[in-house]
Amino acid sequence: MPTLHHLNHSRSQRILWLFAELGLDYDIQTHERDPKTSLAPDSLKATFELGRSPVVTLDDEAHTPLAESGAIVEYFAHIHPEANLTYQAGHTAFSDYLYWLHFAEGTMMPPLIAKLVLGKAKAKKKPIIIKTIADKVIDAILNAYYDKNFAENVAHVEKHLARQADKGFEYFVGEHLSTVDFMMLFPLEAMLASQPNHVPKHIKAYVERMQSRTAYQQALDTGGEYNFGPRQAA
């Protein structure tokens, strides 16, 4: 039986949702972020040397640790083909499937994380002189790179989801739930949680559809604290 090492408020919520959708039997070991630094605890290093989550200990003789949420999602999708969570070569959605699967972490997450981290740095209490200088530097960094890239990414996703809606499809790619949904939901729901009044309508509707799924709600109950979930679940 696999064991998920789950960190609160993290990408490992993807894996909880995936396991719930698969109806998978698994063990869970929960780790809590440091309340002051928000960093993962050292306890994760006992399983994975980088000390990051998610990590799944596979059910083999070596209890092999598998890290990276994208790798975990793909691994379980491939060993459970009956769940039909992938699109194969030759399918009309195959190229879209590959693109968005890698877009989530390769393009969407970097500016989002930077904005969240820099936003926290700006909000942190500082002496007034230091704050004035630091805030100007942070704003300059955001304006020069991250804000523009993030806005372009959001518009790109919104345009894609609008096309999906026009086709009558409720999922991110194609006509059924896939690994892309597990990968793309996390950055989109993090964005919705941090700026609920500035999220385009198709992204907002997509996030709410996924969050209303029975398996997603089961994952929330299992994982505990999750800042990026539906507000009523907080």
**Are 206 and 172 a contacting pair, CB within 8 Å?**
yes
Report pLDDT digits (tens) over 174-226.
999 999 999 999 999 999 988 888 899 999 999 999 999 999 999 999 998 89
Q: Is the pTM of this model over 0.75?
A: yes
Contacts (Cβ under 8 Å, ≥6 apart) of 138 = 118, 121, 122
Helices (H), the chain: 12-22, 69-79, 94-103, 109-123, 128-141, 147-166, 179-194, 201-211, 214-223
d(CA 79, CA 62): 18
Same CATH topology for 3-83 and 94-213: the answer is no
Tokens of 70: 């994208």
CATH code assigned to 94-213: 1.20.1050.10
Domain spans, the chain: 3-83, 94-213
pLDDT at residue 232 in the model? 47
pLDDT at residue 64 in the model? 79
Report pLDDT digits (tens) over 151-166.
999 999 999 999 999 9
Tokens of 95: 């190229």
Report whether the peptide linkage leading into residue 54 is cis, meaning its omega lies within 30 degrees of zero.
yes
d(CA 64, CA 76): 14
CATH class for domain 3-83?
A: alpha beta
